[in-house]
Amino acid sequence: MTLDSPGEEGLKPTRWLGFCSRKMQELIAGVEKIVFDLEADVEQQKGTGLLPFLGMDKSRAAVCNFFLKGLCGKGGLCPFRHLSGEKTVVCKHWLRGLCKKGDQCEFLHQYDVTKMPECYFFSNFGKCSNKECPFLHVDPASRLRDCPWYNQGFCKNGPLCKYQHTRRVMCINYLVGFCPAGPKCKFMHPKMNLLLGNQDNFKSQAPGPAPLTSAGSISSKDSSVDRLPPSRISALHFLHYHLRTRHNMAQPSPSFKPLPQITCFRCGGKGHYANKCGKISTGPLKGE
């Protein structure tokens, strides 16, 4: 068998010898644990100077590792990009090289498939003909929010509700008072404070709680809390209801002056209010 002829397994001896030599070289003289000086210089960003002036385009530069740790002292003259805040969406103008905000942009200047903006055509028309579209194709059904009123037991809009109605089975143990499975339970644990997160989105669906005044009392203009049955009162309604009851019990009944002691600020006379006064003020009030 010559060196150029194929072996028994279809592999030429020359290639087989080269394969064995590479394996032996990795076992005897591996370089995985060796750290070169060049690698340390790159990590420490040695040899990088400052920018000539502020406001230069750094959209194609790497991210500054020291700025992420709060250790960069170069400021705006740093040749690397300073990313501040939690940016969850990639800048669509930066993808085309047209973003002029640089590090001050509210969006991410880094290509990340999971943080790409939504595709305009797929989100509006439900179809995108571009097979290599770099933007996210989000299913419209997955963006629907759960209806908080349906999760509490009843939604007056029924099937016409713009929010999602998901049927779930209540956990009997949780309703009694304690569920040993905790958050891993396969049944639903109902929450009574579902409207505490964002009430503005559901103002049109149900009446909100009565507003609090500066003194901690509840305004009497909205009595929607009293019209709700006890089983439908959420945690916020329940708190406002008790605050108003406690305030009314603690506050003494207002004492009004009898009408003969009332002084009119227009004519200075007694026995009537200014809005009922038929006289014209001719001088200062008595006692001034």
What are the structural domain ranges in the chain?
Answer: 144-193
- Is this structure's pTM higher than 0.85? no
Spatial separation of the C-alpha atoms in residues 51 and 80, rounded to whole Å: 10
Count Cβ neighbours within 10 Å for each residue of 8-28 and write b for 16 or more, e otherwise: eeeeeeeeeeeeeeeeeeeee
On whether the CB atoms of residues 44 and 34 are closer than 8 A, the answer is no
pLDDT for 17: 53
Spatial separation of the C-alpha atoms in residues 137 and 119, rounded to whole Å: 6
- Cα-atom radius of gyration of the chain, to the nearest Å? 37
Spatial separation of the C-alpha atoms in residues 140 and 27, rounded to whole Å: 54
3-class secondary-structure state, position 230: helix
3-class secondary-structure state, position 24: helix
On whether the CB atoms of residues 218 and 244 are closer than 8 A, the answer is yes
Per-residue pLDDT of the chain (288 residues; tens, 9 = 90+): 444 444 444 545 555 555 555 666 777 777 777 777 777 777 777 777 788 777 777 767 777 877 777 778 777 788 887 766 566 678 888 887 888 777 677 787 777 777 778 888 888 888 888 888 888 887 766 667 788 788 777 888 888 888 888 888 888 888 888 899 888 898 888 766 544 444 444 444 444 444 444 444 444 444 444 444 444 445 455 556 656 666 665 555 556 778 888 888 778 888 887 787 877 655 555 444
Nearest partner of 87 among 114, 122, 120, judged by Cα: 114
DSSP 151-194: HHT--TTGGG-SSB----PBPHHHHHT--TTGGG-SSB---S-T
pLDDT for 108: 78
